[in-house]
Chains A and B, each alone.
Chain A
Amino acid sequence: MARAAPKPQANMGPPVPRYDGRAKVTGDARYPSDVPVASPAFAFLVTSAIAKGRIVRMDLAAAQAVPGVLDILTAEDTRELKHVKFAAGGAGASTSIQGLGPDIDHDGQIVAVVLADSFEAAREAAHKVDITYAAEEPAATFDATNAREESPEEVGERAKKLPKAGDAAAALASAEVTIDAQYATPAQHHNAIELFTTTALWSGDELTIYEPSQFVFGLKNNLAERLGIDAEQIRVVSPYVGGAFGSKAQMTPRTALIALAARRLGRPVKLVSTRDQAFTISTYRAETRHRIRMGARRDGRITAFIHEGWELTSRPDPYSVAGVEDSARMYGFGAVETRVTLVHADRNTPGFMRSPPVVPYIYALESAMDELALELGMDPVELRRANNSMRDATGKEWSSRSLMECYDEAAAAFGWKERTARPGSMRDGDWLIGWGCATAAYPTHLGPSAVRVRLTPAGEVRVQVAAHDIGTGLYTVLAQLAADELGVPLDMVRVELGDTALPPGIVAGGSVSTAATGSALVKACAAIRERLTAAPAQTTGGPSGNKLEDVFERLGIGAIEEYAEFIPEGGKPDAIASLYKGKPALGGGSHGEKLMYALGAEFVEVRVHALTREIRVPRIVGAFAAGRIMNTRTARSQLMGGMIWGISSALHEATEIDRRHARYINDNLADYLMPVNADIRDVEVILVPEEDSEVNPIGAKGLGELGNVGTAAAITNAVHHATGVRIRELPVRLEKLLG
């Protein structure tokens, strides 16, 4: 179908079908928990029922009496594990809270691990572990009396690194038109469909871990540190990942526990945690708050932009996304001031979730833009045009910027010119109709990668790198790239990913995989081509053709294998050595000499029932520019999936918290709402041609985290257009429209 695979335009690769498609549709693809191991013990986690306090007593008698129970690990048994330092960035543990007690620092903290012959026995015994707690009153979130907001000094220190230009306060005071609005976003959990699993298998001193991971080298090295063994003793295998969205980028406490349990038992151990545990044993998108003040001239030029953000985090860890870094650069603002304040509460440590900084911060920005457009009586698209600039307020230039091309293409496809501006002016029977739009943006990160490529005389190509296809399409685009670079048919290329036995790849985060791995691959392929051309033209009596086999014969070798390393411009020379040690270094975005972003424009129609106020999204159109598009089919999938995430974020997703207990309430897939098939109607993706030779050797900007940015604002803007009600706190639920 034409829609499934958009026709490539300039600077776009062909929409070849997914490399791993067949394995996935037949059930042959073995995700880590699918790998068979001989007579495994099954683990079940016991997690805390309080968020703050300590374990006074843990009675294991009833649990130990369950037939089939082999072992129960508690705090006492895990003293040998070393503490791994928290480090946001795709390496370090996702949380600094690694102990099994007796101190409890958040709801659902792992406090014991039950091991048994069968999963059901382990579960039964886990339910029979009897724990007495001394509970203290926890701080659940913002506004809790005992939450700790950072001091002005701490905030000031951070602000030194955040964007600032001119005198924003003065510009605001003298502006012709101003707005001052506050926004809030809720906690959200990744809820990748695949659960958090770990299988640990010791063979002598050698440990193999099967675990879905976005960064196998990070997991390998951090686990070694935690177990106190040499990293070379550990192999992490994760060829397929059933969705991750950031939740599988960092080592979480479970891995070392399962490895330890397997060593104690002398038997492989398999853990498949439960869905409710998934809410507390890994990370999540933390709730944020925003205040945006803008001043503008009557003609729409924004002269002052002040964006303050507040982010929730755990007690010990200063996890922050600080997306003012992006919001402040999106338009040619006159003067800019930004600030981010962290609030510490008794929660598990948050972490990356698809497009971490830009989802909340661009939502706030793009909502404010709509409010300003309304205040000015301007069309929202024209307000963006009036402030479109190749330079931000600090003077930094964009490497490429096709924002208005995206707006114009999406607006035309959507039929935006038919919109009547007055809220509530469009209606279809019982349904109020609203149209809204917003900008999508994602920084183009740069990262290092190694790769090994092998070519045989028969034209078989093997690409090996410990990078990760978490559903993104990396297998496919690497196969395509290798086929192109070496001039072989696509079906001659085999790609191996997700295994620390391979050369290290970058973390599957920051939408950096394609660019980093692809750049290394291009380098390796060039080296292979060079070796091929070095073949002597002809030797007497030897083969004379140009066929690959002949070339190899003339070279007198059986295969060519090239290992290549790619370090982005400006990257540290030891970037690959660091990668081997599980330390990724990501640059780019707004941090280099130029501003590098993939951009887009999204237009949505919402329908709100006039009486009962259900909100539906019958159509959404997004146009995106992201440099070179490697495969229009996988690109479309990523962007479309992103837009549906955006709809979900706007209308459905929120992790609800019991404020008395600081515990998550809707920790299952029936009550944590995300769209189902029936919610999704017409989703259109337009790929806008763009060339950018500055971002990286292959000229591709990451787009996996682009589609879900701005969508929520487009929807709240549309809801305002439909109803006249401005929702400044996500998600938009029908009760907010009952008025």
Chain B
Amino acid sequence: MTSDVQLATRPADVSARDRVDAAKNLVVSFVLNGKPLSVAVAPTELLADTLREGLGLTGTKVACGTGDCGTCTAILDGEAVRSCLMLTAMVAGKTVETIEGLAGESDIHPIQQAFIDTGAVQCGYCTPGMILAAKALLDENPKPSADDIKEAISGNLCRCTGYTKIIEAIDKVANAVA
């Protein structure tokens, strides 16, 4: 057991587990957008809900709840994941990045700018997840091929649908980075 998650004592009798579970009996520590923090959550609480409801970081969206759409994408230890299919307890000791952590103090991230410039934003609901998937890709592979880009973001659905422009935007960033 790591020190990042404190667990409630397990009742001796399973039938008597009562409702301790419904209480926020786990304290989970992790790094969010560069800042360490601890949250008290119920075991059932999902990372997406902690971010949205608990921490007010509503840039992370939930649009299917079953891992099918990609709007809840967050970056966990450098890799894009689905925050709607991840218990908050599972991020103990890890580093989480959300869309709110992307822009610098004075300027937005080049991927964000490229999305604006290429017209890759329409209704905007898929946008944060799409940008984070793109960031995780470019952090790992700064010069992706068009096919790499498509595959990396194929788990992010855009219904409006701006796919061509989204690919243009990511490609633009990849090709601008020396």
Chain A in direct contact with chain B (Cβ < 8 angstroms):
yes
Q: Which residue numbers of A lie inside 8 Å of B, CB to CB?
A: 1, 3-5, 15, 17-18, 20-31, 33-34, 36, 66-68, 118-121, 124, 191-195, 240-245, 272, 274-275, 470-473, 633-634, 636-638, 640-641, 644-645, 648, 668-670, 674-680, 682-683
Q: B62, A24: Cβ atoms under 8 Å?
A: no
Residue of A nearest to B122 (CB): A471
A636 close to B119 (CB less than 8 A):
yes
Chain A hits for B71, CB < 8 A: 193
- Binding site secondary structure of chain B: loop
B10 close to chain A: CB less than 8 A: no
Q: Chain B's nearest CB lies how many Å from the CB of A12? A: 15
Given contacts A118-B45, A242-B63, A637-B119, list 6 more A-B pairs with CB under 8 A: A3-B168, A4-B168, A21-B121, A25-B112, A193-B126, A644-B161
**B108 smallest CB distance to A (angstroms):** 6
Is B164's beta carbon under 8 Å from chain A?
Answer: yes
Q: Does A120 contact B42, Cβ atoms closer than 8 Å? A: yes
| Contact flags B95-107 to A (C-beta < 8 A → 1, else 0) | 0001110110000
B98: chain A residues within 8 A (beta carbon): 27
Knowing A25-B131, A683-B164 touch, does A1 contact B49 (C-beta < 8 A)? Answer: no
Query: In angstroms, how far is the closest chain B Cβ from the Cβ of A511?
Result: 15
Interface residues in B32-66 by Cβ distance below 8 A to A read 42, 44-46, 49, 52-53, 56-66
Residue of A nearest to B103 (CB): A26
The answer to whether the Cβ of B6 comes within 8 Å of any Cβ in the partner chain is no
* Contact of B119 with A194 in the complex, beta carbons under 8 Å: no
Decide if B85 is an interface residue (CB 8 Å cutoff).
no
Cβ contacts under 8 Å, A192 to chain B? 123, 125, 159
Q: Which residues of A contact B160 (CB under 8 A)?
A: 243, 471, 637, 641
Compute how far the CA of A27 lies from the CA of B127 in the bound complex, rounded to whole angstroms: 8
What residues on A are CB-neighbors of B52 within 8 Å? 34
Partner of B66, one of A34, A68, A670: A670
What band does the interface of chain B fall in when counting residues whose beta carbon is under 8 Å from A? 35 or more
Please state if B124 and A240 are interface contacts (CB–CB under 8 Å). Answer: yes
Q: List B contacts of A1 (CB < 8 A).
A: 117-118, 168, 172
CB pair B158–A27 under 8 Å, yes or no, is no
A20 contacts B156, CB within 8 Å?
Answer: no
Q: Contact partner of A25 among B53, B121, B158, B163, CB < 8 A?
A: B121
**Which residues of chain A come closer than 8 Å to B122, judged between CB atoms?**
243, 471-473, 637-638, 641
Q: Does B63 lie within 8 Å of A674, measured CB to CB? A: no
Question: Given A194-B123, A275-B64, A634-B119: A26 and B164 within 8 A (CB)?
Answer: no
Do the beta carbons of B108 and A4 come within 8 Å of each other? Answer: no
Q: Which 3 A-B pairs have the closest CB atoms?
A: A27-B59, A471-B123, A242-B125
CA gap between A242 and B172 in the complex, in Å: 25
Closest to A708 in B: B161
Q: Which residues of A contact B155 (CB under 8 A)?
A: 676
Interface flags, B107-143, vs A, CB<8A=1, else 0: 0100011011111011111111001000000000000
The answer to whether the Cβ of B90 comes within 8 Å of any Cβ in the partner chain is: no
B116 touches A22 (CB 8 A): yes
Residues of B within 8 A of A669 (CB): 63-64, 66, 68-69, 157
Inter-chain contacts of B81 with A (CB < 8 A) = none
Distance (Å) between the CB of B8 and the closest chain A CB?
15
A683 to chain B: which residues have CB within 8 Å?
164
